[in-house]
Chains A and B, each alone.
Chain A
Amino acid sequence: MAPLSLCINTQTPLVQFLGPPDGTLLDPASRDPTKLETLREGVDYRFSPGGVTRMVYPLVRRLLQEKVISEAHWVALNPHAPPVVRLGEMTLHNVAIEGDRMAGYGAVKEAIWGRIHEIDAGGRHDDLFWSEAFSEYAYYNRRTAELIGALDSEHDFDVFYIHDFQQMPVGHMLGSLKPKIFRWHIPFDASVFPEEWRSMLARYLDAYDVIVVSAASYADSLAALHPKARVLRLYPYLDPADFARPPAKQVAATAARLGLAPADRVALVVARMDPMKGQHLAIDAVARLARSYPLLKLVLVGNGSFSGSSTGLGLSKSAAWRHRLEALVSERRLEGRVLFTGHLPQEDLDCLYERCQFTILPSVREGFGLVAVESWLHGKPAIVTARAGVSELIRDGVNGLLFDPDDPADLARKIRALLDDRSGRLRARLVRNGRSASRRCSLDAAAKAEGELLADVTEA
């Protein structure tokens, strides 16, 4: 098969621009691509820390390396960025929308997000698709589709790969006969959608040749909502080559800097500050165990998402959630037992993974939960909510520990099991089997499956 020309679309951009005060990077009239290599990482720009981009970028690089694709154009919402950026063989195209429209767009995506993650039930947004805010959501998606259409006229793409629910209408709006793949990254449970949403979702999803989801249960639910859809389950992925053990000295120094004593027994939660991420459940569990285990410390790593950051979309909810968590810590008298680190550079995060006794993925609802896979790759046992996509990979007590997020005592029981594992047998078993399970979420496996998918949709 000849290498393909690929157009990718995500909401979150691969690169966030920090921008000099004089704004020279942000000339909206400039059509000349800005070369990323001429800018300074950490000063002029930074790579988006997690989520969809962290997964898609290594995949695109691998597909380029393996000549599955010949070129990649990546379109994303990036209001504080030059219109076109060159990054190696990749071209990043940034879409900007006005601030007042951003508020409407943000309101709709948060409403969809909240409903899907069941943190916003109760009919408050049943009429979402009739709201004024929805016209702004449509505006953003149409603006994106128009840009992709213009790029297609120039580059004659072979396939469009659209990522995540925020971009769902793009396929319909493109009006192109070329193959379109849609990856749904968050949970999919049709039963949480109000009747008023279903036809709209089905209409948008109908525009895609294949819809990719992260768990078998999501695939089943999607097929029930939209029987005509071709649904494929592909696990999210990480590159194991990115995981190396940091030197012990560096680990000790980082731990000390973050306020951890050598004797502390550390439970690590890596998640952005969002109610859906369930940090409150971890705090509650630690509160239940605090007396029995005086050395137990909970470390919460993470900040807001791209949507919430000031260099992103400015739709902050993370600050409010952190305040609530801090209040909870104070209420449960856990000062000094729970540490909030905010966003950490990768090397510090690697040190924390190395330093911790185990990790917790406490989400109320989670599309997949690659943090569990990261934990396995760092050789640490993972305690995982039963409401994460990754839970279908976990056999309780064999390669991980599952807990029910609706049972406040369950997480505490699972933490206790690890803290009481004096022989280390449980821990060794979870780590050994976890590492083995992580192979199903490797970049190698994903590159193979995604390459086959691209070949399939373009040759069909």
Chain B
Amino acid sequence: MLGWATVWSWFAPFLPAVVIVVLTVVVAWLVHVIVGRLMRPTTPQMAISARRLGVAVVALIGGTLALQALGVNATVLFLVIGLIGVTIIVALREPLSNYGAKYFSDIYTPFKVGDSILVQGVSGKVIEINAMTTVLLSENDQLISVPNVAMIRDVVVNTSPQAWKEVTVPVSIGSTVDLPTFESQLLKSLSKLRARLDPRFPPVLTTKNRTAQSTELVLTLMLRRPEDRDAITLEANRRLAEILEQKRTALRKPATPAQA
């Protein structure tokens, strides 16, 4: 039989690291909540990314401190992580800038697949927006690949008829959220904005992609007046965030997927 003293003598050297890990989890959770609240005025996509970044930074610091408590030299560890990071950034500068540009253009650039745009002197119908490039189909059936970074650096003209009317808001919901309930709540909430939206085009939620972890959707709103664009985008995002935050419990999926 092992005595308590023996168990304690084995466990004691690890105690500081365990305490740091526990504290890290608590701090990460706090950061997750606080950043989520601070980012509420922005888009849900931005809020999710900011939360993830905050949690990752806390986890990195906590993990490093825990390793230091176990006797690993943190200075060397930080140096190695830093060098790897710099190498990746330098090596992948172009792809990363395009990827980053796609992230921001998804949220802020007013065009989508199917629209006709003019950018860097070329024009065509957008047929694909991938991680690196936006692919246009020209009038003479040519494929034109435009780096995404151009979409946030250069002037982009959306030449689709009445393009100003359409506001698309990307929405990402976790797999635990019940999509029918979420959509129903969202439509109810957005109907309050009716006076500012085109009565012929009620809000529509379209599924773009689905994985085991999440569902990517796009909310489409059609404006009555062009000058409302910014305000409606912000208001729609605020309502989205509110539904996702405050009604998280209510949006849980029912026990049996086939039944309500």
Interface of A with B (CB < 8 Å)? Answer: 28-29, 31, 83-84, 93-98, 101, 127, 129-132, 134-136, 138-140, 142-143, 146-147, 149-150, 172-175, 195-196, 198-200, 203
Contact = CB atoms under 8 A, between A and B. Distances in A.
B258 A129 contact: no
Given A139-B183, A173-B207, A95 B200 contact: no
A191 B179 CA distance: 34
A200 B191 contact: no
Contacts of B224: none
8 contacts: A134-B202, A135-B187, A135-B191, A142-B180, A175-B207, A200-B201, A200-B202, A203-B204
Nearest to B197: A130
Interface in B67-94: none
B3 interface: no
A309 B259 CA distance: 21
Given A139-B183, A175-B208, A146 B257 contact: yes
Contacts of B260: 95-98, 101, 143
Contact of A139 (B184, B199, B256): B184
Contact of A196 (B184, B200, B206): B200
A198 B200 contact: yes
B248 interface: no
Contact of A150 (B199, B202, B257): B257
Contacts of B194: 127, 130
Interface centre among A84, A97, A146, A149 (most CB of B within 10 A): A146
B258 A94 contact: yes
Given A101-B260, A198-B200, A131 B191 contact: yes
A151 to B, nearest CB: 9
A interface: dominant SS: helix
A196 B199 contact: yes
A422 to B, nearest CB: 59
Contacts of B201: 199-200
A83 B258 contact: yes
A246 B210 CA distance: 56
B188 interface: yes
B199 A127 contact: yes
B180 A146 contact: yes
Contact of B258 (A95, A130, A132, A136): A95
Interface string B151-189: 000000000000000000000000000011101110110
Give the contact-size bracket for chain B: 20 to 34
B185 to A, nearest CB: 8
Interface centre among B187, B194, B201, B208 (most CB of A within 10 A): B187
B interface: dominant SS: mixed
A136 B257 contact: no
Contacts of A143: 180, 260
B164 to A, nearest CB: 16
Contacts of A199: 200-201
B187 A83 contact: no
Contact of B256 (A29, A200, A203): A29
B101 to A, nearest CB: 26
A28 B207 contact: no
Contacts of A140: 180
Kindly list the 5 A-B residue pairs having the minimum CB-CB distance in the complex, ordered from nearest: A175-B207, A142-B180, A139-B184, A135-B187, A129-B202
Contacts of A150: 257-258
B242 to A, nearest CB: 16
Contacts of A142: 179-180, 183-184
B255 interface: yes
B258 A84 contact: yes
A171 B208 CA distance: 13
Given A130-B194, A132-B191, A199-B201, A93 B208 contact: no
A29 B200 CA distance: 41
A146 B202 contact: no
Contacts of B202: 129-130, 134, 200
Given A175-B208, A196-B200, A147 B184 contact: no
Given A101-B260, A175-B208, A196-B200, 16 more contacts: A29-B256, A83-B256, A84-B258, A127-B194, A131-B191, A134-B202, A135-B184, A138-B183, A139-B180, A139-B181, A139-B184, A142-B184, A143-B260, A147-B258, A175-B207, A199-B200
Interface centre among B184, B204, B257 (most CB of A within 10 A): B184
Nearest to A126: B199
A73 to B, nearest CB: 12
A294 B199 CA distance: 56
A96 B259 contact: yes
Given A28-B259, A150-B257, A138 B199 contact: no
B165 to A, nearest CB: 11
Nearest to A98: B260
B127 to A, nearest CB: 15
Nearest to A83: B258
A200 B201 CA distance: 7
Given A29-B255, A96-B259, A173-B207, A146 B179 contact: yes
A127 B259 CA distance: 30
Contacts of B199: 127, 130, 196
Contact of A138 (B187, B208, B256, B259): B187
Nearest to A144: B180
B184 A93 contact: no
A132 B186 CA distance: 11
B260 to A, nearest CB: 5
Interface centre among B183, B200, B201, B258 (most CB of A within 10 A): B258
Interface in B205-236: 206-208, 210
Interface string B246-259: 00000000011111
A136 B187 CA distance: 9
Nearest to B217: A175
B206 A175 contact: yes
A178 to B, nearest CB: 14
Nearest to B200: A199
A101 B187 CA distance: 14
B256 A93 contact: no
A132 B190 CA distance: 10
